Amino acid sequence: MLHVEMRSVNKWFGDFHVLRDINLEVASGERIVICGPSGSGKSTLIRCLNRLEEHQEGDILIDGVELTRDLKKIDVVRREVGMVFQQFNLFPHLTILENCTLAPIWVKKMPKRDADDLAMHYLERVKIPEQAHKYPGQLSGGQQQRVAIARSLCMNPKIMLFDEPTSALDPEMVKEVLDTMVSLAEEGMTMLCVTHEMGFARQVADRVIFMDAGRIVEVNEPNAFFTRPQHDRTQLFLSQILH
Amino acid sequence: MTTAASSFVRTLRRAPMFRDRTNTIATVAFVAGLLYWSFRFLNWAVVNAIWALPQDAGSNLCRVAQREGACWAAIHERFRFILLGSYPFDQQWRPTVACLLFISLYAVSTLRSFWRPWLLALWIGVPGAAVLLLRGGFLGLSGVPSEFWGGLPLTFVLSTVGFSAAFPLGVALALGRLSRLPAIRVLCVAYIEVIRGVPIVTFLFMAAVMFPLFMPQSFTVDKLLRAQIAFVMVIAAYLAEVIRAGLQAVPKGQYEAAASMGLTFWPTTILITLPQALRITIPGLVNTFISIFKDTSLVAVIGLFDLLGTAKAVLVDPKWIGFAVEVYFFVACVYFVFSFAVSQYSQYLERMLTARTLH
């Protein structure tokens, strides 16, 4: 069953052609890692999947629902898709627990007690249940990002998008977040992850996608991707990051 | 002994005011002038001042000593009128209680631990209770029409009720100004720019004078109410700009995080954006409130007697003509106490909000 379908997707920022003829299919349970130089359109691609960016040409289908200007369809898609940001984007004026229960209460109309139980369940999953009544400003970066993951999981999404989740973290905290993502992957969550963490890609990804200048240049399973890259551009990129 | 003295002189000479001859002379002259003026002032204000006049005596005693001593007797005899207006004498506990209610409301609002949603309810409830108390007409309290309200309670009522009522309108205008729908945006911009571009007195005048002209003869609206509505409309425009700045200062990532979880416009605005925007603009909001508090003195133009208006009324009384310095000094002290407290609070707020993250 295809969770994500992108057909001939093109996007412009004004005159700048940021996504060129993107074709991508992601099956249920697949884990995709997208890598590439900055400005290649990786973040824009995944942001189009939950309509944080609008594509001008082509079709995007999430779990069979086409993403158009129709607000109802956008709402449906956003309930199915969770997103974790590079800057965490936790709500600073709410406690950790309130951060996690906000969407279930207000979007899914869940009663507060059920939402609290759900939030505590996922906070235990990401191994920080004791932080539930603190504020985001009191947590470390790694803890905040794990809360962000728990917050997205509270909406029980079918697909999780990760936009460079560890890029803003101290090196010591990267591992705790990656471990969380690995355990998520092992449970069968469909994931699209933009990241520079190649170790993670090797461990978890079903396919690795390399993007450059708005195009998908190469797609392959991790082993082949890292040992036998087919395009020169891919080789150049890998040589620069895998020193 | 001499070593202590010489080390003292040494430290003194290092100070900027005594660095060289010019500075030293300037400092000495300035301090001398300051001492002289303070001496003269204290002489006038305290030593030679007349604090009270005998019962039913005229103000001759004060007039004779006018150059030499302040006539605080004017305040002593008229402070109740200056502070409370023409409110019936025996009922003056009511405006006093009303003033205390307002002051407690401001005091409670300064404490961070009280920054919860029910504080907003308090800003509606307490002014409402104060107005009801002033108006009376129930539970054995005699009814006192608004023509007799004056002084400090009137200043509090106009500014606090004005601020509370204008707040939701200001939020709506700020949101409207940022709306993607052109019709709403144009209307909000027009409203804000017109009101901010015209002196406040104009609106008060229109409310007091022009409004009744367009109404049928029998339909009269209480003058204080008209002035209040005019104030609300003006405050809303100023608030809208302060709040808009706050809304635009909320990081874009907050909107994105909310949107990515399926939160639509209104839940996002009320739960995520506005709480953060309002915290960011607290100094601006406090500033607006201080300005409004002092702008209420403009109602003198339409014949309402706020704190400054009652002071002027005292000076028209033949007994107290010419003692403007004493009366205005008293009123200035009252305004100053309030403004100083608020400005100190504002600085405390700034220290608190920059020292740690907002939460």
Same domain, B298 and B171: yes
Cα of B81 vs its chain's centroid, Å: 20
Whether B53 maps to a domain, the answer reads no
- Domain identity same for B154 and B187: yes
What interface predicted TM-score (ipTM) does this complex get? 0.91
> Are B121 and B14 contained in the same domain?
no
Put simply, whether B112 touches A (Cβ < 8 Å) is no
Name the residue among A52, A151, A155 with its Cβ closest to that of B259. A52
Q: Does the pLDDT of residue A243 top 70, yes or no? A: no
Going by pLDDT thresholds of 50, 70 and 90, the confidence category of residue B323 is confident
- Each residue's pLDDT tens digit, A186-196: 888 899 999 98
Helix (H, G, I), strand (E, B) or coil at B341: helix
Average pLDDT over residues B339-357: 72
**Residue B343: band (very low, low, confident or very high) from pLDDT cuts 50, 70, 90:** confident
Instruction: Looking at the structure, tell me whether residues B206 and B72 fall in a common domain.
Output: yes
Same domain for B34 and B148, yes or no, is no
Find tokens 């009663």 and name the residue. Answer: A111
Residue B293 lies in a domain: yes
Q: What confidence tier does B317 reach under pLDDT thresholds 50, 70, 90?
A: confident
Average pLDDT, integer, range A220-241: 89
Instruction: Say if the Cβ atoms of A92 and B267 lie within 8 Å.
Output: no
How many angstroms separate the CA atoms of A97 and A84, rounded?
A: 17
Stretch among A2-16, A82-96, B208-222 having the lowest mean pLDDT: B208-222
> At residue B356, does pLDDT exceed 70?
no
CATH value at residue B175? 1.10.3720.10
β-pairing, A190-194 with A207-212? unpaired
SS3 B204: helix
Q: Convert the pLDDT of each residue in B253-279 to its tens digit.
A: 999 999 999 999 999 999 999 988 988
Cβ neighbours of A135 in B, within 8 Å:
357, 359
Are B204 and B301 spatial neighbours (Cβ–Cβ below 8 Å)? yes
Give the containing element (helix H, strand E) for A22: strand A16-27
In a domain, B54, yes or no: no
Is the residue at B52 inside a domain? no
B259 touches chain A (CB under 8 A): yes
Does B176 lie in the same domain as B38? no
Give me the percent of chain B exceeding a pLDDT of 70: 97
* Contact call for B261 and A78, based on CB within 8 A: yes
CB contact under 8 A, A85 and B257: yes
Residue (of B164, B171, B173) closest to B192 by Cα position:
B173
Residue B55 within any structural domain of the chain: no
* Among candidates B253, B262, B358 on the partner chain, residue whose Cβ is nearest the Cβ of A85: B253
In B, which residues are within 8 Å of A54 by CB distance?
none
Residue B111 domain-assigned (yes or no): yes
The verdict on a CB contact (< 8 Å) between A78 and B260 is yes
**B161 in the same domain as B84:** yes
A169: closest CA of chain B, how far (Å): 17
Question: What is residue B63's predicted lDDT score, i.e. its pLDDT?
Answer: 79
CB contact under 8 A, A102 and B275: no
CB-nearest to B254 from A91, A135, A152 is A91
Contacts of residue A84 in chain B, CB cutoff 8 Å? none
pTM of the model: 0.79
Task: Give chain B's domain count.
Answer: 2
Residue B37 sits in the same domain as residue B118: no
Contact at CB, B260 and A92, closer than 8 angstroms: no
3-state helix, strand, coil in chain B (%, to 5): 80, 0, 20
- Are B77 and B224 members of one domain? yes
CA-based nearest residue to A91, from B282, B114, B175, B273 = B273
- What is the rounded average pLDDT of the residues A52-64? 92
Choose from A46, A100, A106 for mutation: most chain B CBs within 10 A.
A106
Query: Distances in Å between the alpha carbon of B48 and those of B167, B184, B234, B315, B330?
Result: 49, 64, 46, 22, 18
Same domain, B25 and B96: no
Q: How does pLDDT run across B41-92, given as a tens digit for each residue?
A: 888 888 888 888 777 777 777 777 777 788 888 888 888 888 888 888 888 8
Does the beta-carbon distance from A107 to B263 stay under 8 Å? yes
pLDDT at A114: 94
CB contact under 8 A, A52 and B357: no
Same domain, B98 and B15: no
Residue B40, domain extent: 2-47
Q: Which of B257, B262, B275 sits opposite A93 (nearest CB)?
A: B275
Q: Which residues of A touch B262 (CB under 8 A)?
A: 75, 78-79, 103, 107, 155
Residue B270 located in a structural domain: yes
The radius of gyration computed from the CA coordinates of chain A, to the nearest angstrom, equals 18
Shared domain for B24 and B94, answered yes or no, is no
Q: Which residues pair with B151 in a beta bridge?
A: B306
Q: Does B260 touch chain A (CB under 8 A)?
A: yes
